[in-house]
Amino acid sequence: MWRAVALNLVLGAPLVCCGQTTRLAVTPSAGAFVRSLAPASNYGNAGALSVSGSAAVNAAGEQNGLFDSLIRFPMSEVAASLNGALGSNQWLVTAAALVVNEVGAPGNAIFNRGVGAFEIRWISSDTWVEGTGTPNAPTADGIAYDDLSSVLNPGADVSLGQFTNGGVDGSLSFPLRLVGGLVSNVLAGADLNLYLTAASTSVGFTFNSRHFSEASSWPSLNLTVIAKPRVLIASIEQPAANRVVLRFNTESNWTYVVQSLDGLSAGSPGGWSNLFTVAARPFNDEAVFVDTVTNRQRFYRLLVSP
């Protein structure tokens, strides 16, 4: 007598679909730029953040040093709200983007200018302090250039991508890689920290910070979230000796694949074969699959993916 095993659910990255998608824009709780020519100075209360390479200069043609910036986004209210609306751990992050308002020609001579590449990294450290310094009145009460070695961790920090600024005033959106640390911060409701650094010598990229006078021009972390699909297995039936019927409910815009394996080896259970696919479609339905079996031991699993 062959044996049927209850289906296993394997989740892939979901598609954004109607009625199941939530989009949020989270503003920072802290931000600061640091500067190599003033390595002990803090600029956490400035109205702008900046990233600069070694060849970028200000409007007077002067080089003001390398600039890096750090931004912290609070995730506690995001996680609590989504858990309340969709259920604890019943949602997935499908996209993230850093949105900023670039200042093409900064009025303060401390800022360099120039178009070029820069990198955004997710950093594991949450220990840096924003501070209260400004370009005209730097302080020593928060993150400074000399502190980067204790904040950055090359073995744990992860690149979210390289991007290029525009060099003119305007809003820019940078789609970020969904690395494990970033997603884990969102799901756990933990602070999420980003680090921006030059990837080319020419970049002189300045944008409004959370201390800018107009809140609508502050940076934001834009998240797209979707509810996990509810897969209801109605039944696994054996109407005849060599036949099995599988029934399960589908949700819109997900692809469902029934796979089988004839016997499990002692090692890795490879060799799964696709038997039946329900393509993504914009409505919910019940799927029925009838399998003719010749093996006395057959296992089934259900994969759910974009």
In this structure, are residues 15 and 282 in contact, taking their beta carbons and an 8 Å threshold? no
**Average pLDDT of 97-123?**
98
| pLDDT at res. 238 | 87
Within a domain: residue 11?
Answer: no
Instruction: Tell which of 227, 260, 291 closes a domain.
Output: 227
Q: What share of the chain is helix, strand, coil (3-state, %, to 5)?
A: 10, 40, 50
CATH number at residue 245: 2.60.40
Q: In this structure, what token pair is assigned to residue 159?
A: 């690149």
The answer to whether position 13 is within a domain reads no
> Is the same domain home to 121 and 264?
no
Domain shared by 223 and 234, yes or no = no
**Residue ranges making up the domain that contains 297:** 230-305
Q: In this predicted model, what pLDDT tens digit does every residue of 76-95 receive, in sequence order?
A: 999 999 999 888 888 889 99
Terminal Cα-to-Cα distance of the chain (whole angstroms): 36
| Domain match, 281 and 252 both | yes
Residues 264 and 188 in one domain: no
Do residues 59 and 195 share a domain?
yes
211, 234: one domain: no
Residue 220's DSSP bridge partners are 99
Query: For residues 174 and 183, what is the distance between their CA atoms, to the nearest angstrom?
Result: 16
Q: Compare 123 and 91 and report the one with higher pLDDT.
A: 123
Is position 62 within any domain? yes
Burial of 108 (0-12, 13-18, 19+ CB in 10 A): middle
Q: In terms of Cα–Cα distance, which of 132, 131, 169, 167 is closest to 151?
A: 131
Report pLDDT for 228: 80
How many domains does the chain contain in total? Answer: 2
**63 plus 197 within the same structural domain:** yes
- Tell me how far apart the alpha carbons of residues 267 and 251 are, in angstroms, rounded to a whole number: 34
* pLDDT value for 20: 66
60 domain residue, yes or no: yes
pLDDT at 58: 97
Per-residue pLDDT, 162: 98
pLDDT tens digit sequence for 187-220: 999 999 999 999 999 999 999 999 999 999 999 9
User: Would you place residue 3 in the very low, low, confident or very high pLDDT band (cuts 50, 70, 90)?
Assistant: very low
pLDDT over 80 (residue 8): no
Q: Point out the domain boundary residue: 227, 258, 273.
A: 227
Comparing C-alpha atoms, which of 98, 99, 47 is closest to residue 208? 47
**Domain for residue 158, yes or no?**
yes
Residue that is last in its domain, among 227, 260, 282: 227
Percent of the chain clearing pLDDT 90 (strictly above): 67
189 and 88 inside one domain: yes
Mean per-residue pLDDT over the chain, rounded: 89
Residues 278 and 192 in one domain: no
Residue 229: pLDDT over 80 = no
Q: Is the pLDDT of residue 264 over 90?
A: no
Residue 9 lies in a domain: no
Give the other-Cβ count within 10 Å of 277's Cβ. Answer: 13
More confident residue, 9 or 189: 189
Residue 14 lies in a domain: no
User: What's residue 90's pLDDT?
Assistant: 83
Report yes or no on 50 lying in a domain. yes
Q: Please write the tens of the pLDDT for every residue from 57-80.
A: 999 999 999 999 999 999 999 999
Q: What is the pLDDT at residue 227?
A: 84
Co-location of 186 and 261 in the same domain: no
User: What is the pLDDT averaged over residues 172-181?
Assistant: 97
The 10s digit of each residue's pLDDT in 144-172 is 999 999 999 999 999 999 999 999 999 99
Mean pLDDT of 124-145: 98
pLDDT of residue 249: 86
Q: Tens digits of per-residue pLDDT, 16-66?
A: 333 468 999 999 999 999 999 999 999 999 999 999 999 999 999 999 999
139 and 69 part of one domain: yes
Among candidate residues 157, 231, 167, 168, the one with its CA nearest the CA of residue 197: 157
Please tell me whether residues 116 and 234 are part of one structural domain: no
Question: What sign results for the dihedral spanned by CA atoms 202, 207, 211, 212?
Answer: positive
Model confidence at 6: pLDDT above 70: no
pLDDT range class, residue 232, cuts 50, 70, 90: low
